[in-house]
Amino acid sequence: MSDTKSKRRRKGSGSLFKRNGKFVYQWTCQTGKIKTKTLKATTKAAAMEEIDSIVQEEQKVALVNSKLSYLQQVAETRSLLNVCRVPLPKLEEAFFNHPSAPDITPHHRKNYHSTLEALANFAASLNIHLTCDLTEDNAGAFLTQQWKRGIAAKTYNSKLDILKRVFRTMSRDSNPFETFSKKQNTPEERCAFTVEQLQNIWTTLTSDSFQMLHKEEMKVLYKLALYTGARCGDLCLLKWESVNMSLRTIKFMPHKTAKSSRKKVEIPMSDVLYSTLAELEMTSDYVLPKVAERYQYNPGGISRDTKRLLKAAGMTPTDPGESRRLRAVSRFSFHGFRHSAASLLINNGVNPLVVRDMLGHTTVDMTARYTHVALDTKIKAVQALPVLGDNRIQNNTFAEFISNLPAEKLPRLAAFLDAYLPLSQKEELLLKLR
């Protein structure tokens, strides 16, 4: 019986037969594939025992595969629980209904709306409609599209922060924006007003030829801004309950820190500010009721009127942009009074810690960003340094030393001043040299 099959015996799903004088077992495995094995047994009873061993091994494999399949199904189910299947046009609504959504102002809500709306439109152009279908490649393409529009680095970074926050909240385990980095951003330099500029502003404001809505209250607002260093919104909505005329202090919690450090600021009144507030009538909860009402329905109006005032005072509030990427920068604005208050206090020798508390900053480093040290203060500082070696100015003043410099060294001095003086001090120096 070399090539012929012997009498077959069924064993489960397999068959036992003889081939070339040896027992052979053939069966169908779990995958549906037919397997054949030549047995070592020489008797039928031994062959049956060997087949039993093969069947048991197959059952063990089947059990393991069944468990692996179950675990895979569990993993897929858990993954689905963390996948956001919200349609992209509905993502904003779903996010702000989420328990972990931030409590933000209407202004910042507009930023969320514009960013998520742009993302939904971009995804629709790729025939992507569900949040979970947005891949990392799609996210990168969207960010590239936004950057090519010519938006500033600050705007790009703000959009990226919004997208990361939304997807981190709605789809924790599959955030397509998580790996992208921010663009390098150079902070805009805001300028403080010089004393001469402050005089020009006040002269223009008090002139009969200059018209401004609620002008009398606006005069008080600008005095509050200079003598307290507080922000525009906090002053426009300042209430009499925050003003203590007997102690001559103003104490309130700035809106910007109300949800973070919750640190109140307490600012003493100067004689000028005290006499100004003493003349006002307490006809409302607000110190400046007309300004407060206007700010609540049109906060941008105060800023626009301030820029109009600065232009009338001979200043250029905004630097024109050099390109699409480097857009116009607001150098002088209402916020300039805050910078001016910090700079004037520092230049008059007030301890930076005191200035920090008055401005409501949490660190002195933050206060330093608002400090524009006058050139005269710097000159006095360097004159106080000890004289070493032969490069002594001796009894000459710094101005006399500069005037005695050889002509060939003047370009080096000009280059040094151009490199190390901030814009506000360059303008101050130019005004004094004219």
360 and 213 housed in the same domain: yes
Cα–Cα distance measured from residue 67 to residue 77, given in angstroms and rounded to the nearest whole number:
15
Q: Are 332 and 316 in contact (CB under 8 A)?
A: yes
Of the candidates 220, 219, 213, 225, the one whose C-alpha atom is nearest the C-alpha of residue 332 is 225
Residue 273 lies in a domain: yes
117 and 13 housed in the same domain: no
399 and 337 housed in the same domain: no
Cα dihedral sign, 63-69-72-76? negative
Provide the number of structural domains found in the chain.
4
Domain final residue, candidates 34, 55, 81: 81
Q: For each of the chain's 434 residues, which pLDDT tens digit applies? A: 444 444 444 444 678 888 888 888 888 876 778 888 888 888 888 888 888 888 888 777 777 777 766 666 655 544 444 557 889 999 999 899 888 888 877 778 889 999 999 999 999 999 999 888 899 999 999 999 998 887 778 888 999 999 999 998 887 667 899 999 988 765 556 677 888 888 899 999 999 999 999 999 999 999 998 888 888 888 999 999 999 999 888 888 888 776 666 778 888 888 888 889 999 988 899 999 999 999 988 888 998 998 899 889 888 776 555 444 444 555 778 888 888 887 777 777 767 676 676 766 666 555 555 555 555 555 555 455 454 444 444 445 566 777 777 777 777 777 777 766 777 677 777 777 76
Residue 190 lies in a domain: no
Of the candidates 299, 311, 310, 305, the one whose C-alpha atom is nearest the C-alpha of residue 340 is 310
Identify the H or E element spanning 267.
strand 265-268
Cα–Cα distance measured from residue 290 to residue 426, given in angstroms and rounded to the nearest whole number:
38
Give me the pLDDT at residue 418, please.
72
Give me the pLDDT at residue 325, please.
47
22 and 158 housed in the same domain: no
Q: In which region does residue 389 sit, left (phi positive, over 0), alpha (psi from -120 to 50) or beta (all else)?
A: left
Cα-Cα-Cα-Cα dihedral of 205, 207, 212, 215, to 10°? 70
Give me the pLDDT at residue 83, please.
58
287 and 400 housed in the same domain: no
Contacts of 33 by beta carbon, 8 Å cutoff, 6+ apart = none
Of the candidates 78, 79, 100, the one whose C-alpha atom is nearest the C-alpha of residue 166 is 100
Is 0.75 surpassed by the pTM of this model?
no
Give me the pLDDT at residue 220, please.
93
Cα-Cα-Cα-Cα dihedral of 284, 237, 363, 370, to 10°? -120
Give me the pLDDT at residue 236, please.
93
Domain final residue, candidates 18, 46, 81: 81
Give me the pLDDT at residue 287, please.
93
**DSSP state for residue 97 in the 8-state scheme:** T
**Pairing of β 14-19 and β 265-268:** unpaired
CATH number at residue 244: 1.10.443.10
Give me the pLDDT at residue 56, please.
82
Give me the pLDDT at residue 143, please.
94
Give me the pLDDT at residue 6, please.
42
Residue 177 lies in a domain: no
164 and 280 housed in the same domain: no
216 and 313 housed in the same domain: yes
251 and 333 housed in the same domain: yes
227 and 311 housed in the same domain: yes
Cα–Cα distance measured from residue 73 to residue 78, given in angstroms and rounded to the nearest whole number:
9
241 and 288 housed in the same domain: yes
**Residue 126, domain extent:** 88-170
Cα–Cα distance measured from residue 417 to residue 411, given in angstroms and rounded to the nearest whole number:
10
17 and 70 housed in the same domain: yes
The CA distances from residue 171 to 92, 160, 163, 168, 336, in Å, are 13, 16, 11, 6, 42
Residue 337: count other Cβ atoms within 10 Å of its Cβ.
27
Cα dihedral sign, 281-285-287-289? negative
Cα–Cα distance measured from residue 190 to residue 201, given in angstroms and rounded to the nearest whole number:
17
Find tokens 């004037």 and name the residue.
344
Cα–Cα distance measured from residue 9 to residue 11, given in angstroms and rounded to the nearest whole number:
6
Cα–Cα distance measured from residue 320 to residue 329, given in angstroms and rounded to the nearest whole number:
7
Domain final residue, candidates 38, 56, 81: 81
Residue 295 corresponds to which tokens in the numbers above? 């700010």
Contacts of 211 by beta carbon, 8 Å cutoff, 6+ apart = none
355 and 206 housed in the same domain: yes
